[in-house]
């Protein structure tokens, strides 16, 4: 009932906005989960420093950069964007599925390829979901509609990191217990003492057998996290399939201006921008 609402609920009467917002929610789960859990994987499963952990994620960032730039240029020339969304959904789902195979001793070049595929998918979906929404609203609703999609992406990230973080903690505990039990009763007791308190273990202070157990547990646990995130990316793909494509250079009839044609060009230019 607000005279100037932050999110006009009438926007959700538009099927494209509703679908794009829901898809953006699932994309957020994948995007934020990658940035959070990759750092834990490289530090706790591979023994890398925080700085090196960031450097090692460059393949995902590079894939995102390349796909978002390339898709933006092609869409500007052709006005067609749905194929990029669908392709991005396929790549994102595939990338997360591949990342679900991560273990502490997975060769880095495998990980780099998986990250690049995930990044390519993210780059094709993130901004193009916003673009699809902007192309469906009147000029006066551009700001609100764009913010809605971005908000749902951030919301998905917050929900995903919380839920998947709980999953990882549970899986890591399970794998640590199995690993210590495999070392024998005496070793299990010593290992439990070295990791007591529920905190993150200091790998440098652990004996080699226990360190391998912890690294293996975190490597397998992070892999499980990405495997559980893959179905959410698949849901995002299903949603974008149902988004109706409206060419970027055209204007939906529902919002077409009733004024003369000399007023249509500026409004169309706003949408293209």
Query: Which pLDDT score is estimated for 189?
Result: 53
**For the chain, how big is the Rg over CA atoms in Å?**
23
Instruction: For residue 120, give the nearest of 56, 58, 66 by alpha carbon.
Output: 66
8 falls within a domain: no
175 falls within a domain: no
Domain with 126 in it? 13-165+225-272
Rounded mean pLDDT of the chain?
Answer: 83
pTM here is 0.82
User: What is the rounded CA–CA span in Å between residue 30 and residue 235?
Assistant: 12
33 falls within a domain: yes
User: What is the rounded CA–CA span in Å between residue 9 and residue 15?
Assistant: 12
Residue matched to tokens 């495998």: 110
Instruction: For residue 229, give the nearest of 156, 150, 176 by alpha carbon.
Output: 156
Q: How many folded domains does the chain comprise?
A: 1
CA 115 to chain centre: 11
Judge whether residue 255 has pLDDT over 70: no
145 falls within a domain: yes
* Listed range (1-10, 49-58, 224-233) with the worst mean pLDDT: 1-10
3-class SS string, 84-149: HHHHHHHHHHHHHHHHCCCCCCCCHHHHHHHHHHHHHHHHHHHHHHHHHHHCCCCHHHHHHHHHHH
239 falls within a domain: yes
195 falls within a domain: no
Query: Which pLDDT score is estimated for 264?
Result: 43
Instruction: Let me know if 29 is exposed, middle or buried by CB neighbors in 10 A (0-12, 13-18, 19+).
Output: buried
**CATH code assigned at 89:** 1.20.1250.20
99 and 41 Cβ atoms separated by less than 8 Å: no
User: What is the rounded CA–CA span in Å between residue 106 and residue 101?
Assistant: 9
176 and 214 Cβ atoms separated by less than 8 Å: yes
Instruction: Let me know if 165 is exposed, middle or buried by CB neighbors in 10 A (0-12, 13-18, 19+).
Output: middle
**Pair of tokens at residue 258:** 């009733």
H/E element holding 36? helix 15-40
User: pLDDT confidence of 249, banded at 50, 70, 90?
Assistant: low
181 falls within a domain: no
**pLDDT tens per residue across span 48-94:** 888 999 999 999 999 999 999 999 999 989 989 999 999 999 999 99
**pLDDT tens per residue across span 153-169:** 999 999 999 999 999 99
User: What is the rounded CA–CA span in Å between residue 241 and residue 143?
Assistant: 25
170 falls within a domain: no
């Amino acid at each position: 009932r607000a005279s100037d609402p932050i999110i006009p609920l009438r926007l959700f009467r538009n099927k494209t906005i509703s679908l794009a917002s829901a898809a953006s929610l699932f994309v957020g789960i994948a995007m934020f989960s990658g940035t959070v859990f990759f750092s834990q994987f490289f530090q706790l499963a591979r023994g890398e420093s925080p700085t090196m952990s960031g450097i090692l994620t460059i393949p995902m960032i590079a894939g995102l950069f390349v796909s978002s730039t390339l898709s933006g240029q092609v869409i500007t020339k052709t006005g067609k964007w749905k194929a990029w969304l669908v392709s991005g959904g396929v790549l994102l789902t595939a990338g997360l599925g591949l990342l679900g195979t991560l273990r502490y001793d997975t060769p880095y070049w495998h990980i780099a390829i998986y990250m690049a595929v995930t990044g390519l998918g993210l780059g094709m979906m993130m901004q193009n979901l916003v673009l699809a929404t902007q192309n469906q609203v009147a000029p006066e609703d551009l700001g609100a509609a764009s913010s809605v999609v971005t908000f749902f992406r951030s919301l998905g990230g917050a929900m995903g990191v919380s839920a998947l973080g709980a999953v990882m903690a549970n899986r890591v505990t399970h794998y640590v217990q199995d690993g210590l039990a495999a070392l024998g009763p005496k070793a299990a007791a010593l290992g439990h003492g070295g990791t007591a308190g529920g905190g993150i273990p200091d790998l440098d202070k652990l004996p080699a057998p226990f360190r391998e157990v912890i690294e293996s547990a975190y490597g397998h646990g992070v892999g499980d996290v990405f495997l559980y995130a893959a179905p959410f990316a698949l849901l995002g793909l299903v949603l974008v399939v149902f988004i109706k494509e409206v060419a970027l250079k055209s204007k939906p009839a529902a919002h077409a201006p009733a004024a003369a044609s000399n007023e249509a060009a500026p409004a169309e230019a706003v949408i293209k921008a």
